[in-house]
Amino acid sequence: MTSNEHVLPDDLVPAEALASTSPIAISSLARLKPGKSDDEMQKAFTAMMSAAREEEGCEQYAIHATLGQPGVYAFYERWSSGADLLRHMQNPSLRTYHGQFFKNLDVEIEWLRPLDA
């Protein structure tokens, strides 16, 4: 994958989330597409969790396998601000992961903000 290749959907992150100066969270459910490797994705998830947790502004980054539904994963991320989330999304060392994520999974994403923010 070249460094110029675009891997994230243009409309992925709402402007309200990017502009947030308070914490922003993401909850998503991802289903492995037919014919894609579950083992390959789990290896990518493990690497991604380690990298994301070290990023500035990452308050929580967790991925869970669902019980009784092989190939279905639940994600939860919490970032200190929209700027921290944007840095995460633009991190060049995560391009391969983002490419695998959107190529191999059908994803439903919910953008969240704390009620006290």
Arithmetic mean of pLDDT, 92-116: 87
Token pair of 31, please?
A: 């289903």
- Residue 45, CA distances (Å) to 18, 50, 68 in order: 24, 9, 19
pLDDT averaged over every residue in the chain: 87
Give the model confidence (pLDDT) of 13-49 as tens digits.
Answer: 899 998 999 999 999 999 999 998 888 888 889 888 9
67 three-class SS: coil
Q: How does residue 4 score in pLDDT terms, banded at 50, 70 and 90?
A: very low
Token pair of 89, please?
A: 């999304």
User: In this structure, what DSSP letter does residue 9 have?
Assistant: -
Residue 57 has pLDDT above 50, yes or no: yes
61 three-class SS: strand
Strand order through the sheet with 105-112: 58-65, 72-79, 24-32, 105-112
